[in-house]
Amino acid sequence: MMRSVDFTNVSVNLDLFKSAIAELPKGEKAGAPFATTLQKVSDGKSYQQLTGRVDERALITAASGMSALGTTQSISAEFEEQLQVNGAVLQAELDWMLGLVQQRVNGDRKPIANPPDLSGVSSPYAALVRNAGLDTFDRLALILSLAPHIKPSLMNVLGGDCFSLGSMKLLVGGGNVTANLGIDKWRDCSALLDPANRIMELVGDPDPWLKITDDYRAMVTIGKLPSDNRRANMPAIKIDTGMTWDDLVVSYQTEQELREVIVAVKNQDLLDKRMAAYAQSKGTSVLMQGTNGTGKRVAAEVVAKELGLDPYLVKSEEILGGGIERAIERLEHLFTRARQQNAALIFDPGESFIGTVDTRGSAGDKIEMALRDCLARLIASHPGLVIVINRAGGGYDGRAFNFDKVVHFPYPSGDERQKIWTQFLENKNVDEQARTKIPLLGRMIELTQSEIVFAIHYAEVAAKGAPIDIEMLFRGCNEAMRKHERGLSGDTLNRLRAG
């Protein structure tokens, strides 16, 4: 079932600032500098640590969408100089935004100050401001959407992962009703939100968060398109675990069903060529169904790569939110880009998209039905491969979705679990006793593939560089089972130790 995504807990809550200031000594309250406030709520980190110069590494990291650990890639001297200039521009814009935050924290409701003058400045960010004719509200929204990417440490202090439209309203007017109406008007006519530009999106409901699209995030930070897998023109992420067909550990029946998918797609390509003059190309739709952790997503990736396709993962948060028109627009855009990029689309979790909807239900149910029907129509007419991953027991509307193939992923057998243990422990530092216990682990402890991987990772962390022993693996298994309110019994542990 298609559901609205709840983003209410991820946006910045300005009450955090107010409470932080309330805790300061009375003598500091009246003019408490923002740096002091930041220090109070960030365990003593300095203002420079949190908001200091936006350097080249931060820009490359922001552009590529990687984690805050950054990148070690080498860059030319000319490119480094361009990044330094753009970093200084973005830092000035960030300081302007933080100055506004300081005003509101201190109860100052004066009108928003003018942003930095970027006339004559040569940098990617300044170029966008000029070329798109961005006004003060536009620039505030833009820097708010960029802040989590260029200065992620700041977001740790602000109490969230991103800024919302409500945050912007508080910054502009400090709660002033007239200012709020001004933001609502801005929302309707901003160049940033114009679908023709696709610079920014408002995602989620009821207080949407400010999201800069991936292509523009790269353009305004490093001046070029991103080299990572996630692109604004493809609301999905390319996945590559490095797994191959030989790495799959599935039942014989599941393997045969996967092979049937590959044969069907290859034969469909042949049929399409023969029938091109007579009929529209028809793709292949596949439903993969089974218990969580049984390897469905990896299998979907492997099948796509076996067919020479790029596997793209589609998650509900990339599509839903912002109203039915925007969601349908994203779906249609997704399938258009998939045709252009030789992509296999993998919807996971599928129940967010294909679930049954009560046609007699609420207005929300009717919206979900419209989105579901749109997806069913797009899948039926798509000439490529579409895979929908559904958990066991997760029903779907068979009237709307008529899948060409269904692949079942049962709980792994003892022999299959033994293969999984052997595969994922092969290159680990494991003591000899633990290796001899692998057949027992597989036979006696019922875990899915993802739970086995979790148990091994838990044991590896517990080992702290020393060889993994059997007791660490037992603890890892127990922790994996506890996540689903299960656990290893004392009797099972005794038999494993004695075996």
Q: What is the pLDDT of residues 319-346, one digit of tens each?
A: 776 667 778 888 888 898 888 788 999 9
Least confident of 62-71, 152-161, 383-392, 445-454: 62-71
Q: What is the pLDDT of residue 468?
A: 92
Percent of the chain with pLDDT over 70: 70
Reduced to 3 states, what is the DSSP secondary structure of residue 320? Answer: coil
Q: Do 29 and 105 contact (CB within 8 A), yes or no?
A: no
d(CA 344, CA 443): 36
Strands 343-347 and 310-314: what pairing? parallel
d(CA 347, CA 324): 19
Count other Cβ atoms within 10 Å, centred on residue 124.
23
User: b/e per residue, 67-105, with b = 16+ CB within 10 A?
Assistant: eeeeeeeeeeeeeeebbbebbebbbbbbebbbebbbbbb
Q: Do 144 and 90 contact (CB within 8 A), yes or no?
A: no
Looking at every residue in the chain, the average pLDDT score rounds to 75
Cis geometry, peptide bond prior to residue 467 (ω within 30 degrees of 0): no
Mean of the pLDDT values across residues 336-363?
Answer: 74
Give residue for tokens 């530092």.
429
pLDDT above 90: residue 280 = no
pLDDT above 90: residue 256 = yes
pLDDT (tens digit, 9 = 90+) per residue, 133-150? Answer: 899 999 999 999 998 888
CA-atom Rg of the chain in angstroms? 26
pLDDT above 50: residue 30 = no
Q: What is the pLDDT of residue 8?
A: 29
Q: Do 71 and 57 contact (CB within 8 A), yes or no?
A: yes
Least confident of 59-68, 176-185, 370-379, 422-431: 59-68
More confident residue, 52 or 30: 52
Mean of the pLDDT values across residues 276-290?
Answer: 71
Which domains can be identified in the chain, with CATH numbers?
15-229 (no CATH), 238-409 (3.40.50.300), 414-498 (1.10.8.60)
Phi-psi region of 108 (alpha: psi -120 to 50; beta: other; left: phi over 0): beta
Confidence grade of residue 299 (pLDDT, cut at 50, 70, 90): very high
Least confident of 26-35, 275-284, 376-385, 429-438: 26-35
Q: What is the pLDDT of residue 365?
A: 58
Phi-psi region of 410 (alpha: psi -120 to 50; beta: other; left: phi over 0): beta
Least confident of 87-91, 289-293, 395-399: 395-399
Mean of the pLDDT values across residues 369-376?
Answer: 83
pLDDT above 60: residue 317 = yes
Tell me which H or E stretch contains 386: strand 385-391
pLDDT above 70: residue 362 = no
Helix 124-131, helix 77-105: angle, nearest 10: 60
